[in-house]
Structure 1
Amino acid sequence: MDRDLLIQQVKSEYARLAQLENREHITNQAYSGVSPEAYYEKTLEKAIRDISTGKYDDCASGLQVVERIANRSTKARRIQNTIESTLHNMETAEEIMALEPNGKKTQDLKEKNERRAEAIPQMIREMKEELAREELDADSPNVIGGGGNG
């Protein structure tokens, strides 16, 4: 597909989505405190860069590009999901241990929770590093030397 045509279709699709969300009064909370317009603008800029480099040459339409971007989970998000899952598992283990305070299963769960607790700080560091890497990759205005008009 022609990359210029693909870019125009992606622009139209993001404009449609932003307008739809403005009509529905979507809060900034869904976009980490960024307005939907700013979110879509930043996402569009990255999409245009990626289209220009051929990343989406296998896509048949702008809608397909937008869907692929929306369904992509960043590494930082996957780490965050792992942290949340680990914390949930720790809470569940605590509940099970409270029901049966003595026994082999309780001891095993206690040891697992200790290992989980030791792993969480490293996961948090990895997530922060990955978020910083993503900011740099996106030429964010929040990064010295990044994009923006400031």
Structure 2
Amino acid sequence: MTVVVILNDGWVSSNTLGKGKPFYWKLDDDCNIHIKREIKNWKIETVSYDHLNKLNNYMGSGDWVGLKNNVKKLSNGTEDDGIGTFLYNLHEDTSYAQLSSHLSALFNYAGIWEHNGYSRNMEFKLKSDNWCRDIKKYYQQKSRE
């Protein structure tokens, strides 16, 4: 179950799928997703429309794609191909690659991706080609709750 809290500045609360870690997110008019999460301190990172579009195209094969965002394996180049490694290849930063947990949760909740239901060895499959429309619809829905 996801508990939604809307902050005054447009941030919506959510949780990752595996460990249920809380985070906040907002969507701007250009379909960039801003994610606020607590690591040691609160950190805000933005995933651009361009990167999100590339990611959704990567998911477009129709096959199940693993989360694959282990920090140690990403750092030493031994992580298998998946969502986290794809993000890491776009922006060589393990913190950025870890956003795969947040994005996969959002895209699952918005009906863009299907989740295999596991909290370990998570995999996702594309359900909707029009991710920008669907994430906007989901954001608007959550903003009204």
What TM-score do the two structures reach when normalised by structure 1?
0.28
Judging by fraction of residues, say which structure has more helix. 1
Q: Considering only CA atoms, is the larger Rg found in Structure 1 or Structure 2?
A: 1
Judging by fraction of residues, say which structure has more strand. 2
What TM-score do the two structures reach when normalised by structure 2?
0.28
